[in-house]
């Protein structure tokens, strides 16, 4: 399995396999494993990176190549039906593409990071913005790493 690629959706933990051939899910209530298919349109091979995320309670995949970022969301979990919600040209952030990876996403925004910056892409307006930039030898704040789990974190009252 790919390390650090876990998404919690529908009461199950999901991992993208190391070969990017399918998603492996562990249903926490029933303690049952399930194999989930990837979108047919997903491109494999050199220069394509695939990331597993959660978006508004749904399973999501982001594929990043040299020139494009494609975003899929699972429309029907039981029937494993995927829908491509966006195909984004990476031309305007071309120099950052080799080291960029998605942190988290919502229905409107995708947050991506490099080792020195956090960018946000607004899907409706198709606008990129720099959200955070590291100065000198500082590192990215830890809350960016934890943000992907915000929908599963709740107070223990």
Q: Which sequence spans correspond to the domains of the chain?
A: 6-151
What's the pLDDT score for residue 117?
Answer: 86
User: Does 150 have pLDDT greater than 70?
Assistant: no
What's the pLDDT score for residue 45?
Answer: 76
Lowest mean pLDDT among 54-68, 69-83, 106-120: 106-120
- Using DSSP, how many helices (H) and how many strands (E) does the chain show? 1, 12
Q: How many CB atoms lie within 10 A of CB 48?
A: 15
User: Does 26 have pLDDT greater than 90?
Assistant: yes
Q: Which pair of tokens denotes residue 63?
A: 């594929």
pLDDT tens string 88-111 = 999 999 999 998 999 889 989 999
């Amino acid at each position: 399995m790919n390390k650090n690629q876990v998404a919690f959706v529908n009461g199950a933990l999901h991992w993208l396999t190391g070969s990017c051939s399918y998603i492996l899910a562990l249903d926490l209530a029933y303690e049952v494993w399930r194999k989930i298919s990837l979108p047919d349109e997903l491109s494999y091979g050199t220069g394509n990176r695939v990331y597993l995320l959660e978006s508004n309670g749904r399973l999501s995949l982001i594929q990043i190549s040299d020139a494009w970022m494609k975003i899929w969301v699972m429309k029907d979990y039981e029937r494993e039906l995927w829908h491509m919600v966006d195909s984004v040209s990476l031309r305007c952030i071309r120099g950052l593409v080799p080291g960029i990876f998605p942190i988290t996403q919502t229905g409107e925004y995708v947050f991506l990071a490099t080792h020195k910056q956090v960018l946000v892409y607004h899907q409706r307006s198709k606008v990129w913005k720099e959200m955070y930039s590291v100065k000198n030898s500082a590192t990215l704040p830890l809350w960016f790493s934890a943000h992907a789990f915000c929908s599963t974190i709740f107070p223990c009252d």
